[in-house]
Amino acid sequence: MSDPDPDHDADPSNTNWSTWTWDRLRAHAAGLPDRNSGLELVRWLAQRNAHESSENRETCLLWAQLSLEANRRLHSDALWDQNRMLNNNFMLRVWIIEHVGPGPDPLWDPHVLAADTLAALRLDPTEAATAAQNWRDLPIGEIGELRRHKTLTAHLGRLINHLPPGPTKAQLIEWGEVRILLP
């Protein structure tokens, strides 16, 4: 992806990342170590640029993929880091599916996103609904687990519309109904 103004990024001291081209931001991200806080800015800027370029599918998807890669590299294997990473991932993917359209790449396939979502959930909807009935009486770790499930299902209302009737859609609808009960 070339910059319409080739001299725009010529100054290496230009730290206004919002003006950087995809090539420059990608190269910068590649030079950052994993878990570096600079990856959060790369993730956010690339996501913003994906949203702003949604009328050009190819450009939008390049920005979205850069955001997802920075997001993956930013987070540790700790439970809450993984929760945040997956939430960012799911929300951007469903946005692409809604605004740019599904595509052959598994990242933009609603069926794959549905499977990825279900794989991220540790509880089944019935267990979550039962636990949520008296969530204030639960130990903090169990409340956290319910919160984690609420976060990981935030995109379901938007995703469900892109799935045909079937067991996966039914399970996601059930999760959507349980989600409103979670703390």
Helix (H) or strand (E) holding 69: helix 57-74
Identify the pLDDT of residue 14. 61
Q: Say if pTM beats, i.e. exceeds, 0.85.
A: yes
Residue 52 has pLDDT above 70, yes or no: yes
> Residue ranges of the domains in the chain?
17-74, 84-183
CB atoms within 10 A of CB 71: 23
CB atoms within 10 A of CB 131: 20
Q: pLDDT band for position 8 (50/70/90)?
A: very low
What is the distance between the alpha carbons of residues 146 and 127, in angstroms, rounded to a whole number?
10
pLDDT 10s digits, 13-36: 567 888 899 999 999 999 999 999
